[in-house]
Chain A
Amino acid sequence: MTFDVAQVRRQFPILSEIIDDRPIHYLDNGASAQTPLAVIDAVRTYETTGRANVLRGVHRLAERATESYENARVAVASFLGVQPMEIVFTGGCTAAINLVAYSYGQLLKPGDRILLSELEHHSNIVPWQLLRQRSGIELDMLPVTTDGQIDLEALPKLLTPRTKLLSLAHVSNVTGALLDVRRVVEAAKTVGAKVMLDGAQRAPHGPVDLKTLGIDFYVFAGHKAYGPNGVGVLWARPELLDAMPPFMGGGSMIGRVTLAETTWAPAPRRFEAGTPPIGPAIGLGMACDWMTALDWTTAHDHEMGLVQRVLDGLQKIDGTQILGPASLQNRYPVVSFMLDGVHPHDVAQTLDSFGVAVRAGHHCAQPLMDRFDLDGTTRVSIAPYNDNTDIDALLAGVTHAAKTLR
């Protein structure tokens, strides 16, 4: 069965926009994906027919809002193959990592170690550096191979009895490299360490079976997974959520408050202080349903076919270099490249004049740029609604930049 990209494109209203007489070739999905009509409608339905706060009121609008919000939790849980009460809605992926760093971090002792990698997004580095300042834990870094993958050969050397957590990108936001999760989990188990995956770049490419992966924490962002801004997801094993102290205090997360002391609500409420991002969570629930309904066998083949078209096309342009796996093996549809003699921002600006949206720069991964002594890269990130016309416009723009800017 072939993938009907035209049918998918029709579900995304923004893709038919014309700006300055040019269609949009949106290849910046790794920064923020576009959102389908089903998600827009779900948020609109909440705002126009069920807007109220959740978990408090007894009136019928509050009941509607609460039901929609909790149904969204069920949809996200189904997308990840876990139970709804193991899902915590946060303000985003960064907020979810900070939650774990603060809350799970309180369970760690000075001298305990956390293992990251050189290719992590800043949001999977800085929260742990802040924890190190607060509580005296130590950080270790897995190196990166020349083709932009986390070098798991270094695992035995860097894992110690004091290693309590490995927190790694499921898919690199720069190189597109897919982590060998099984190998990481097996190694972590030998020292009793937990494993957290930053799923920001993996979740937008179909359901994830967390129970099979055998990990302990998973986080991802709503806006990169065809949902609204302002919402993210933390999943953790229930026994970990039960053991973790609150991150933020406020309404909804309490058992009982007196002036002397407060007891905490069970998870996930314990970690959802205050009014949650109700509309965005409902939208994200619909985005998860939308992704679950897509045939990802053909969608993934379609995406990787476009990656091959990018790799083949870039190879024909003099002076291009790929930062990431050269083949389609162990990678997802994120492709970073350099064009000799042209700064990535100038490549991206040129591409914009061709109607092509990409990201250029350090991609919030400055340690990875340092590793390769790069100013930055130009990054192409692909979603199921992209097609050959997007890639051909990209290649025409890169060719033009090569001709005119060096």
Chain B
Amino acid sequence: MNDQLYQEKIVALAKSKTGAGKLAAPTKTARRDNPLCGDRVIVDVTLDGQGRIAEIGHQVRGCLLCQASAAALASVAVGKDAAGIAQYRHEAERAIGREAGKAHDPFDAFEPVASHKSRHECVLLPFEALKDALA
């Protein structure tokens, strides 16, 4: 069955919708599309004076993995700058087996995606959008 990939933690993250929605007055906004599958992520952020995220909102038009990834990212992003978010990107890369090492909560939720190479980009798309927003 599909339970191997869609484990409880991924489904719960997606359903949590943490950070889902638009910000009223974002400092920066970025949109990323996956041209292969058509998934789309729009990320809004407001920044404090030091380039750290004060608020984050995301609109995901994509699959459950992409929604879960955006929620996981939003759950840890506040207070982080671009370098801090890059560290979380490594966490996600470790979870899906692209980098060596163990991923930590909440990104360890994506470990079942490691064996589904065609779905890796679903997990990484929100990171790409947020990276653009912070650039």
Contact = CB atoms under 8 A, between A and B. Distances in A.
Interface stretch (B57-65, B89-97, B101-109): B57-65
Interface in B63-96: 63-65
A405 interface: yes
A345 B2 contact: no
A375 interface: yes
Contact of A405 (B36, B62, B64, B119): B64
Nearest to A344: B63
Interface stretch (B4-12, B20-28, B45-53): B4-12
A350 B10 CA distance: 14
A239 to B, nearest CB: 39
B38 A405 contact: no
B5 A376 contact: no
A405 B37 contact: no
Nearest to B67: A343
Given A362-B38, A369-B38, A343 B64 contact: yes
B39 interface: yes
Contact of A346 (B4, B38, B61, B64): B64
Interface of chain A, main secondary structure: helix
Given A353-B5, A400-B2, A404-B3, A346 B63 contact: yes
B135 interface: no
A343 B63 contact: yes
B6 A362 contact: no
Contact of A349 (B2, B11, B61): B2
A344 B1 CA distance: 17
Interface in A336-391: 342-346, 349-350, 353-354, 360-362, 366, 369, 375-376
A400 B1 CA distance: 8
Contacts of B65: 345-346
Contacts of A343: 62-64
B122 interface: yes
Contacts of B2: 349-350, 353, 400-401, 404-405
Nearest to B119: A349
A345 B68 CA distance: 14
Contacts of A353: 1-2, 4-5
A376 B116 contact: no
A373 B65 CA distance: 21
A374 to B, nearest CB: 9
A288 B30 CA distance: 49
Interface string A279-291: 0000000000000
Nearest to B11: A405
Contacts of A345: 37, 39, 62-63, 65, 119, 122
A275 B67 CA distance: 48
Contact of A361 (B1, B37, B40): B37
A366 B116 CA distance: 25
B6 A350 contact: yes
A376 B1 contact: no
Contacts of B61: 375
Nearest to A343: B63
A369 B4 CA distance: 30
A346 B10 CA distance: 12
A164 to B, nearest CB: 31
A174 to B, nearest CB: 12
Contacts of A376: 37-38
B116 A349 contact: yes
Contacts of B4: 353
A401 B2 CA distance: 8
Most B C-beta atoms less than 10 A away, residue of A345, A362, A366, A404: A345
A123 to B, nearest CB: 15
Contacts of B6: 346, 349-350, 404-405
A400 B38 CA distance: 24
A350 B11 CA distance: 13
A369 B38 CA distance: 10
Nearest to B4: A353
Nearest to A365: B38
A342 B2 CA distance: 13
A349 B5 contact: yes
A85 B110 CA distance: 56
Most A C-beta atoms less than 10 A away, residue of B40, B62, B63: B63
A401 B63 CA distance: 13
A349 B5 CA distance: 9
Contacts of A400: 1-2
12 contacts: A343-B62, A343-B63, A345-B62, A349-B116, A349-B119, A353-B1, A360-B37, A362-B38, A369-B38, A375-B39, A400-B1, A404-B11
**9 closest residue pairs by CB, A with B:** A350-B2, A343-B63, A345-B63, A362-B38, A353-B2, A346-B64, A361-B37, A346-B63, A375-B61
Given A345-B119, A353-B4, 5 more contacts: A346-B65, A349-B63, A369-B38, A376-B37, A404-B11
